[in-house]
Amino acid sequence: MDSFDYIVVGAGSAGCVLADRLSESGTKRVLVLEAGGTDRRFWIKAPIGYGMSFYNAAVNWKYTTEPVLGLGHRTSYWPRGKVLGGSSSINAMVYCRGLPTDYDDWHAAGNPGWAWKDVKPVFESFERKVGSDGVAQGHGALFVSNREPEYHPLKHDFLHAARDLQIPLSSDLNGDAPEGLGAYPITTRNGLRCSSADAFLRPALARRNVELRSHAHVHRIIFKDQRAIGVQYSTGPDRALTTVLASGEIVLAAGAINSPQILQLSGIGPPALLREHGINILFANEAVGAGLQDHLGINYTFSSKVPTLNGVLGSWSGRLKAGLQFLLQRRGPLSIGVNQMGGMVRTDATQVRPNVQLYFSPISYSATFVNQRPLLRPDSFPGFIIGFNPCRPHSQGHIRIRSNNPFDAPKIDPNYLNDSHDLADVLEGAQLIARLQQTPSMQALIDAPKDIDLASASLQSIEEDFRQRSGTVYHPCGTCAMRPLAAGGVVDSELRVYGVEGLRVADASIFPNITSANTNAPALMVGHQAARFILSSV
Ligand X SMILES: Cc1cc2nc3c(=O)[nH]c(=O)nc-3n(C[C@H](O)[C@H](O)[C@H](O)COP(=O)(O)OP(=O)(O)OC[C@H]3O[C@@H](n4cnc5c(N)ncnc54)[C@H](O)[C@@H]3O)c2cc1C
DSSP state of 154: H
Q: Provide the minimum distance between the beta carbon of 448 and ligand X in the complex, in angstroms, as a whole number.
A: 28
Q: How far apart are CA 470 and CA 388, in angstroms?
A: 10
The one catalytic residue in 152, 219, 475, 528 is 475
Is the CB of 181 or the CB of 434 nearer to ligand X?
Answer: 181
Contact 222, 232 (CB under 8 A): yes
Window 28-47: contact mask with ligand X (x via CB under 6 A): -----xxxx-----------
Q: Is 475 a catalytic residue?
A: yes
Q: Provide the minimum distance between the beta carbon of 487 and ligand X in the complex, in angstroms, as a whole number.
A: 22
Is the CB of 120 or the CB of 217 nearer to ligand X?
Answer: 217
- How do beta strands 3-9 and 240-252 pair? parallel
Question: Which of 204, 334, 338, 523 is the binder for ligand X (CB under 6 A)?
Answer: 523
Asked whether position 528 contacts ligand X by CB under 6 A, the answer is no
Site for ligand X in 71-90 (CB under 6 A): 79-82, 86-88, 90
Helices 116-126 and 520-536 cross at an angle (nearest 10°) of: 100
440-445, long-range: CB < 8 A, 24+ apart = 440/164, 441/157, 441/158, 441/160, 441/161, 441/163, 441/164, 442/157, 442/161, 444/157, 444/305, 445/154, 445/157, 445/302, 445/304, 445/305, 445/306, 445/384
Q: Provide the minimum distance between the beta carbon of 413 and ligand X in the complex, in angstroms, as a whole number.
A: 18
Q: Which stretch binds ligand X (CB under 6 A): 18-26, 40-48, 315-323, 514-522?
A: 514-522
Q: Which stretch binds ligand X (CB under 6 A): 9-17, 106-114, 353-361, 395-403?
A: 9-17
398 closest CA partner among 415, 417, 382, 380? 415
Q: How far apart are CA 206 and CA 319, in angstroms?
A: 37
Q: Is 155 helix (H, G, I), strand (E, B) or coil?
A: helix
Q: How far apart are CA 89 and CA 405, in angstroms?
A: 27
Q: How far apart are CA 55 and CA 153, in angstroms?
A: 30
Site for ligand X in 90-119 (CB under 6 A): 90-94
The number of residues in the chain equals: 538
Question: Which of 4, 6, 8, 9 is the binder for ligand X (CB under 6 A)?
Answer: 9
Site for ligand X in 494-513 (CB under 6 A): 507-508
Residues sharing a CB contact under 8 Å with residue 222, sequence separation 6 or more, in sequence order: 228, 229, 230, 231, 232, 243, 245
Q: Provide the minimum distance between the beta carbon of 36 and ligand X in the complex, in angstroms, as a whole number.
A: 4
Is the CB of 90 or the CB of 141 nearer to ligand X?
Answer: 90
Site for ligand X in 205-244 (CB under 6 A): 216-218
Site for ligand X in 375-434 (CB under 6 A): none
Q: How far apart are CA 397 and CA 392, in angstroms?
A: 14
Report CA-CA distances (Å) from 495 to 86, 122, 259, 382: 20, 16, 13, 48
Q: Provide the minimum distance between the beta carbon of 509 and ligand X in the complex, in angstroms, as a whole number.
A: 7
Asked whether position 178 contacts ligand X by CB under 6 A, the answer is no
Contact 389, 517 (CB under 8 A): no
Q: Which stretch binds ligand X (CB under 6 A): 67-75, 131-139, 166-174, 515-523?
A: 515-523
Is the CB of 210 or the CB of 254 nearer to ligand X?
Answer: 254
Question: Which of 5, 6, 7, 12 is the binder for ligand X (CB under 6 A)?
Answer: 12
Q: How far apart are CA 360 and CA 351, in angstroms?
A: 22
Q: Provide the minimum distance between the beta carbon of 13 and ligand X in the complex, in angstroms, as a whole number.
A: 3
Site for ligand X in 459-488 (CB under 6 A): 474-475
Is the CB of 80 or the CB of 483 nearer to ligand X?
Answer: 80
Q: Provide the minimum distance between the beta carbon of 187 and ligand X in the complex, in angstroms, as a whole number.
A: 8
Query: Which residues of this chain interact with ligand X, rule CB under 6 A?
Result: 9-15, 33-36, 79-82, 86-88, 90-94, 216-218, 253-256, 258, 262, 474-475, 507-508, 518-521, 523
Catalytic residues: 475
